[in-house]
A and B are shown apart, each in its own frame.
Chain A
Amino acid sequence: GENVEQHPSTLSVQEGDSAVIKCTYSDSASNYFPWYKQELGKRPQLIIDIRSNVGEKKDQRIAVTLNKTAKHFSLHITETQPEDSAVYFCAASISARQLTFGSGTQLTVLP
């Protein structure tokens, strides 16, 4: 089955700097790659996703890039703010329903 590895497990950045979180996946048949944000004690919420026919997608300060050849995808957050502090999860899906999640990255934005 699919295996997703996520790095780093923790990331601290100064407010206003950029943050990058990287994930690799094992199954080349995966075609859907969402990113979820989970604040402490709350439910995960989708922040951005990308499909395998697209190399990059942006939504304001958030962007995701996908390299199908290398089987990795990354989340980029620019101009970080304290409210960006949370745990971020990447995921990959073959059938568009059975998501396999990475282990998460705790992002801390320092004021």
Chain B
Amino acid sequence: DGGITQSPKYLFRKEGQNVTLSCEQNLNHDAMYWYRQDPGQGLRLIYYSQIVNDFQKGDIAEGYSVSREKKESFPLTVTSAQKNPTAFYLCASSTSGQDEQFFGPGTRLTVL
């Protein structure tokens, strides 16, 4: 799982600002995912991408945007339209034909 990196580890944002979270993997995985984790809750899917230049909305996509220009990278932008963005964000990836998702170390976003 060391092949998935997220940066930064901690991020502080002022209200009204957009912020982009980085996710990179060198596992040659086709699929990548973004989850949001709130205290005492499970992981909720924001967006996922199964191939380059294609992505789909998950359960809570409103206020978020993504891009998948390269196989290795799947950045997530938290826009000012996201009303409650403070959370722990986890990126994951998986390979074709396998269901296991490998997670990155996460980014903790705090809105001040």
Chain A residues in contact with chain B, CB under 8 A?
1, 4, 6, 9, 32, 34, 42-46, 49, 89, 91, 93, 96-104
B contact residues around A4 at 8 Å (CB): 42
In contact, B48 and A89 (Cβ under 8 angstroms): no
Q: Choose the segment among B13-21, B61-69, B100-108 that binds chain A (4+ C-beta atoms closer than 8 Å).
A: B100-108
A32 and B99 alpha carbons, distance in the complex (Å):
8
Most buried by B among A9, A43, A101: A43
Interface size on B, residues (CB 8 A): 22
A1 and B44 alpha carbons, distance in the complex (Å):
13
Contact residues of B between 1 and 33, Cβ < 8 Å to A = 1, 31
In contact, B45 and A93 (Cβ under 8 angstroms): no
In contact, B45 and A99 (Cβ under 8 angstroms): yes
Contact residues of B between 90 and 112, Cβ < 8 Å to A = 90, 94, 99-106
B contact residues around A34 at 8 Å (CB): 99-101
In contact, B43 and A44 (Cβ under 8 angstroms): yes
A7 and B71 alpha carbons, distance in the complex (Å):
37
A contact residues around B94 at 8 Å (CB): 97
Most buried by A among B31, B43, B48, B94: B43
B contact residues around A93 at 8 Å (CB): 99
Q: Does B86 contact A (CB under 8 A)?
A: no
